[in-house]
Amino acid sequence: MPVAHAAQEVSAAVFEKLKPAQDALKARDFKGALTNANAALGVAKTPYEREIALKIKLSAAHSLRSWPDVIEAGEALVKSPGIGGAERTNLQRMLGTVYVQTRQYDKAVENMRAAMQASGGGTAQDHLVMYSIYVARNDCPNSLASLDR
């Protein structure tokens, strides 16, 4: 269960970095958004401040297809106390597909299984993603089993 943040405020030091990151993201300057989000992470003190900066980083990195940055931000958000429920499940699904892009199939399976378990067995799309992971790993028995569900 996610932990509610007592005071959802950010310090002036973090705001100085977050505001340009948000503005850059809105302007579709994804490199600028990523740079400023990383700067905000460097001064963030609270879990809430980190979550805001990580979400901007995730969005900018995904738009840039910077998979290492996507993985770093996504994994940190999944572990964050303020992230839970459907938001965590969607992050795990996204990480599953990104790990396929980087050919880290074991991590892809781990994240997809966690998302599927959290969502009561997964969607048809989840099973297709699992199928593609198993095919990429040359794992015929599991690829066929994933289609049976």
Distance CA 138, CA 31 (A): 36
CB 126 within 8 A of CB 115: yes
Interval 2-15: pLDDT, tens: 444 455 788 999 99
Q: Which of 123, 62, 137 is nearest to 112 (CA)?
A: 123
**How far is residue 94 from each of residues 9, 57, 76, 128, measured CA to CA in Å?**
28, 14, 13, 14
Angle among Cα 55, 59, 64 to the nearest 5 degrees reads 145
pLDDT bin (cut points 50, 70, 90) of residue 1 is very low
**pTM for this entry:** 0.87
* 13-71 tens-digit pLDDT: 999 999 999 999 999 999 999 999 999 999 999 999 999 999 999 999 999 999 999 99
